[in-house]
Amino acid sequence: MSEPVEERVVIVTGAGRGIGRAEALEFARQGAKVVVNDLAGDDDPAGAVVDEIRSHGGVAVANHDDVSTWDGGRQLIGTALSEFGRLDVLVNNAGILRDRMFVSMTEREWDEVIAVHLRGTFVTSRHAAGHWRELSKSGKAVDGRIINTSSSSGLYGNVGQSNYGAAKGAIASLTIVLAEELARYGVTVNAIAPAALTRMTEALRERTDAEKAEMDPANIAPLVAWLGSPASRAVTGQIFNIKGSRISVAEGWVAGPEADNGTRWTQERLDELMPGLVAKARGRSDMDGHPIPR
């Protein structure tokens, strides 16, 4: 029987809509106390999610700090500590899209996406990790979780998303590094690469009713809640693809076909070797992570 997230304190960034909203609602449904983070905007989506959670008897507070800034990340972690006295789970979900072909991409479009996705994951994780490190050093038991949000665009590549893919690929790498570094403090770090219809993705193309059901953001939330639970304490450094009812473990870079020349390579020898070596290698994957037939 899985251990519940009841009474655990959870931060979800970008939780006013889409996947983040679904994650916040699921954590609250399972009994967690939730800090719902999103920029205020004109309609305060974070406040609306908090109201929805409270209407069902849950416990939640809104936070409107900008996670791409150092002080915003610090204040977000501080909200959990001041409101609930602890922090157990950080879900880094906040994101934006500025899709454009690379040769037409502007500096601003690149910087905005990197700031929200990659810097936003760094800043919040850095402040959370500092808090857990101090707890651990003081002799207190820590069972912390960081759950990052990568993407198939970052793992497998997607045309028109060089900024987004670069950020999401970096988040996957950051996840693996943090899993190694934070294990000593009792913190696990994992990531998801979700496929879901949100404000960011619904306008990309028309979807059938079956596709819409499969890509409901609510399908993502149970895995994230499990990763935030005590039951997942032995799982760290993993990236999970999730789409509808399907979960797969993303397998990282591996050293494939190899050759050893025994001495420094020459251009002539490389001419002879490289085409055949590349032909033996596993090819690229599609957006679902499946090898593309050659």
- Residues catalogued as catalytic: 151, 164, 168
139: left (phi over 0), alpha (psi -120 to 50) or beta: left
Q: Which of 170, 157, 151, 201 is nearest to 18 (CA)?
A: 201
Bridge partners (DSSP) listed for residue 243: 195, 246
Q: Long-range contacts made by residues 251-255, C-beta under 8 angstroms, separation at least 24?
A: 252/172, 252/176
3-state secondary structure at position 100: strand
Residue 223 has a CB neighbour count (10 Å cut-off) of: 19
- Mention every residue, 6+ apart, whose C-beta is less than 8 A from residue 292: 283, 284, 285, 286
